[in-house]
Amino acid sequence: MSSPTPPRRRILDAASQLFLQDGYRVSMDAVARRADVSKQTVYAHFHNKDALFRAAVEEMVTPLHASLDNGDGIESTLCDMAALYSRHTSDPATTALGRMLIAEAPRFPRAARQLYQCGSGAVLKRLSERIAQSMRHGELRRDDPEQAAELFLSMLNGMAPLRSLLGLRQRGRKAQDSWTSHAVKVFLRAYQPRSPLTDQPSRKSP
């Protein structure tokens, strides 16, 4: 016999569905009804709608953070993270939420900021920390890790996110996986550690 789903889990699931369906205008009453809990129970777990929205967005990117904590070498880590990120950003639910909040940003600017800060912004920060670690350990050449992280994320999908937001045709899964794999290889070549010989100042012949 399976144990009942905890209230917090039901609330998050309900909120995620409703945010995707109706955008940030969703009421806490609607979340309570969808989760089949009282409104007081919703507020007991999430003190306001901002907190609930933030938790829903953070949960969407949890697998991306986990992929950066796997303890493997930088190439394996970037490959795993890239595959997950590509699928996350091309997921119809993610695209729908992004499109909806772009349209609603003038009315709900705080929600739009939270979507970035708790979603892609948090992933960018964690990735830059992982890249900085690899630079210190000699896996990647020393450079600006924040710039490197943003370049890497930008390379993974190219123009695909814009085409998705505009409702245009997307790459198939096989083509996108090939693109992602190539992006990782290009990034690693660009940031490969310099040979010790190349770091020495040139000397003139006597």
Q: In this model, does residue 122 exceed pLDDT 70?
A: yes
For the chain, the residue count is: 206
Per-residue pLDDT, 201? 46
Q: In this model, does residue 90 exceed pLDDT 90?
A: no
Highest mean pLDDT among 35-49, 76-90, 165-179: 35-49
Q: In this model, does residue 93 exceed pLDDT 60?
A: yes
Cα dist from 154 to 39, 113, 159, whole Å: 41, 19, 9
pTM: 0.79
Residue of 146 and 205 predicted with greater confidence:
146
Where do the structural domains in the chain lie, given as residue ranges? 7-49, 61-190
Q: In this model, does residue 99 exceed pLDDT 80?
A: no
Average pLDDT, the chain: 85
The two domains 7-49 and 61-190 share their CATH topology (first three levels equal): no
d(C-alpha 114, C-alpha 122), whole Å: 10
Looking at domain 61-190, does it have CATH number 3.40.50.720? no
The CATH class of the 7-49 domain is mainly alpha
